[in-house]
A and B are shown apart, each in its own frame.
Chain A
């Protein structure tokens, strides 16, 4: 069990909403990005003399650019519907981690400078001046949000705290305050092509090694091609899939699926990352710049389809934003949606009877499925709303015999975030990550106890990395953490191909 310098929340049989504890997480602030990094992604490096005017001007700009922010600033009635919905509040009790508490950090300033009531009656409506302390508080609490959108499901006006956290981060970025983890990652993505800063040659070496591993294990030559011109499919997957555990087992799964289905496919060394941290900081420009590598790779390689691997926020950017950011995709095969999720591809092949499985190979596993927040509430799979819930589960049931869902309130559209999404997946926020994971781990622990679950499949690189980190704090072995295509990989029956 990992040693913590803070109190790890207790897991209970039934969810309990904590009493509020003001300031419980006020000490949290992740490391800040250097001036150099800030400038490389289009922000200023140091806080300027006129920081206040700059920040307010940015806020005004965003209010004019995003209807979401403009409406969400006005619409809240403080009804309290969201107050017990955020995993960070449930795990910490800090009222500024209630969705409305987090939103109010910005709304208080919005009222002061952009509304009649706040300009003339600030005390009455709870409006405050923008100060440096306010900005520091924004920095602390907007980076204690994983932008998972669970609150937006329950808000009677659909107010999505993610939109406000993103705007808050963009405003603090505009006065030189950025987060080291997210912004350093963006610099690597822009300059090298993936979040890990893994250069092309290293990628070729690693994939060759994986091919050998598969050959030894199965006796079949399954290829993991890179930069293969004329391939039908370009696979865009999180770079964690290339070497992190358990991520890599899902990559092997994708390779086996493509192999067995006879679909020619390739990775790209130019666009070797599905993740797009531009989303986390609300930066349209950075999100677009990062995604543009993928358009270029698809054109250069002459592929007909783009398929996205197991990654939550990446699937949101790909599914919901790519067409707008980097489309139109008129150069791709119109018979397939662009982009396609690898689960959609596998599910379709299963439906058509192309893939055969030895389900018993997974019999040592009792499996549950963790709906990743961005997939659940920001995207779809297939043609029917809710396909993002049914398709991964149908795949699991096709490749394994023992499957049990967690409590209904904690899956599907109400799924609890892993606690590490949206730019929180950094060691300097480990307290936030461990405490924020509590609602998810609690539901998991209950199916472990009641059903003997020993494997939690997810389809997100961040979820997998987060669970590796936080499960030990709760005394749970990390071998329980894995991917959907890891299960596919175990059960799929391979044949040699020409």
Chain B
């Protein structure tokens, strides 16, 4: 067992632990924090199923972003959909046998790689070209784009320039899953690709990538517009009910 294999195996276990543990910690924090007042941005749905549709449209179509800015929407949506197709394509490294639907998806996943790069470049250009976006961009915003672009380019290079031994890669990954470690090929492109992905996983819960779980917990999007019909007392607010100003004759 080479040092590299051990290093990458440990790296992925650590990254996965940080991703899962960190996200669970953040999500529990969001879930435990009360939303004491009804603040949906109206017009808002008046039923739970309506709210599910609203959040669904945000997740799938980026509805609010579309209202806001067509260029940001175009690049942002293109990048995210591409990322999804690419992630699906990579499931073949985790599943044995590979389901038919994944086999059919493969070509889409390949060309999505180019869409991902185009989307990321578009978003990055905005950070320089639009003075307002340039003003709000922090070093971490640029690094995040660089990280994602690095992942996309190293991946595309392995597909179109220098192939790696994907059979061995799959054995390595399945080995990680079943705690039966297998040697990792030592292609530089593959090592870069995997290292950047592990980095992305590790920083997910401590970075702006929290926008993903955040959307589901956003009170302006996930609340039903029914405040006249129902009271929504948070536990800390309910304690005020016993105070003198709350007394009434009824």
Binding site for B on A (CB under 8 A): 17, 19-20, 22, 63-68, 70-72, 74-85, 95, 98, 100-101, 104, 115-117, 123-126, 149, 152-160, 163, 284-285, 288-289, 292, 295-296, 299, 319-321, 323-324, 326-328, 330-331, 337-339, 376-380, 383, 385-386, 388-389, 413-414
Do A323 and B231 touch (CB < 8 A)? yes
User: Does chain A have a CB within 8 A of B49?
Assistant: no
Do A155 and B64 touch (CB < 8 A)? yes
Give the distance in Å from the alpha carbon of A284 to the alpha carbon of B69 in the complex.
Answer: 35
Measured between C-beta atoms, what is the minimum distance from B44 to chain A in Å?
Answer: 6
Do B220 and A68 touch (CB < 8 A)? yes
Which listed segment binds A: B100-108, B112-120, B133-141? B133-141
Residues in chain A near residue B143, CB distance under 8 A: 124
Give the distance in Å from the alpha carbon of A187 to the alpha carbon of B100 in the complex.
Answer: 70
Most buried by B among A22, A71, A75: A71
Do B65 and A79 touch (CB < 8 A)? yes
Measured between C-beta atoms, what is the minimum distance from B189 to chain A in Å?
Answer: 27
Given contacts A63-B33, A68-B219, A153-B67, is CB(A377)–CB(B42) below 8 Å? yes
User: Does chain A have a CB within 8 A of B164?
Assistant: no
Do A321 and B38 touch (CB < 8 A)? yes
Closest 4 A/B residue pairs (Cβ): A75-B214, A385-B43, A158-B220, A154-B68
> In B110-150, which residues have CB < 8 Å from any A CB?
123, 126, 130-133, 135-141, 143
Residues in chain B near residue A389, CB distance under 8 A: 43
Give the distance in Å from the alpha carbon of A330 to the alpha carbon of B229 in the complex.
Answer: 11
Do A65 and B218 touch (CB < 8 A)? no
Do B207 and A299 touch (CB < 8 A)? no
Give the distance in Å from the alpha carbon of A123 to the alpha carbon of B225 in the complex.
Answer: 41
Do A124 and B68 touch (CB < 8 A)? no
Residues in chain B near residue A339, CB distance under 8 A: 228
Give the distance in Å from the alpha carbon of A66 to the alpha carbon of B234 in the complex.
Answer: 10
Do B228 and A378 touch (CB < 8 A)? no
User: Does chain A have a CB within 8 A of B34?
Assistant: yes
In the complex, which residue of chain A has the Cβ closest to the Cβ of B240?
A: A288
Q: Is the interface of A mostly helix, strand, loop or mixed?
A: helix
CB < 8 Å neighbour of A81 from B29, B68, B227: B68
Do A385 and B248 touch (CB < 8 A)? no
CB < 8 Å neighbour of A20 from B76, B126, B132, B245: B132
Do B228 and A319 touch (CB < 8 A)? yes
Do A83 and B218 touch (CB < 8 A)? no
Give the distance in Å from the alpha carbon of A125 to the alpha carbon of B138 in the complex.
Answer: 6
Do A67 and B219 touch (CB < 8 A)? yes
Residues in chain B near residue A70, CB distance under 8 A: 29-30, 33
Give the distance in Å from the alpha carbon of A386 to the alpha carbon of B45 in the complex.
Answer: 10
Measured between C-beta atoms, what is the minimum distance from B45 to chain A in Å?
Answer: 7
Do B250 and A149 touch (CB < 8 A)? no
> In B20-59, which residues have CB < 8 Å from any A CB?
26, 29-30, 33-39, 41-46, 58
Measured between C-beta atoms, what is the minimum distance from B143 to chain A in Å?
Answer: 7
Given contacts A64-B33, A81-B64, A320-B227, is CB(A76)–CB(B42) below 8 Å? no
Given contacts A19-B131, A284-B237, A385-B44, is CB(A75)–CB(B218) below 8 Å? yes
Do A98 and B41 touch (CB < 8 A)? no
User: Does chain A have a CB within 8 A of B10?
Assistant: no
User: Does chain A have a CB within 8 A of B211?
Assistant: yes
In the complex, which residue of chain A has the Cβ closest to the Cβ of B225?
A: A380
Residues in chain B near residue A337, CB distance under 8 A: 228
Do A413 and B132 touch (CB < 8 A)? no
Measured between C-beta atoms, what is the minimum distance from B43 to chain A in Å?
Answer: 4
Do A83 and B234 touch (CB < 8 A)? no
Please name 11 pairs of A and B residues whose Cβ atoms are closer than 8 Å in the assembled complex, sorted by A. A70-B30, A78-B137, A78-B141, A79-B72, A80-B126, A84-B132, A149-B220, A154-B69, A284-B37, A385-B43, A413-B41
Do A67 and B34 touch (CB < 8 A)? yes
Measured between C-beta atoms, what is the minimum distance from B132 to chain A in Å?
Answer: 4
User: Does chain A have a CB within 8 A of B192?
Assistant: no
| 13 further A-B pairs in the complex, CB-CB below 8 A; given A83-B130, A157-B214 | A65-B234, A67-B33, A77-B211, A78-B138, A80-B132, A100-B136, A117-B207, A126-B138, A159-B218, A292-B246, A320-B39, A328-B231, A413-B41
Residues in chain A near residue B68, CB distance under 8 A: 81-82, 85, 154-156
User: Does chain A have a CB within 8 A of B94?
Assistant: no
CB < 8 Å neighbour of B228 from A123, A124, A126, A323: A323
Measured between C-beta atoms, what is the minimum distance from B32 to chain A in Å?
Answer: 9
Do B36 and A83 touch (CB < 8 A)? no
Residues in chain B near residue A153, CB distance under 8 A: 41, 64, 67
Residues in chain B near residue A71, CB distance under 8 A: 30, 214, 217-219
Give the distance in Å from the alpha carbon of A116 to the alpha carbon of B234 in the complex.
Answer: 28
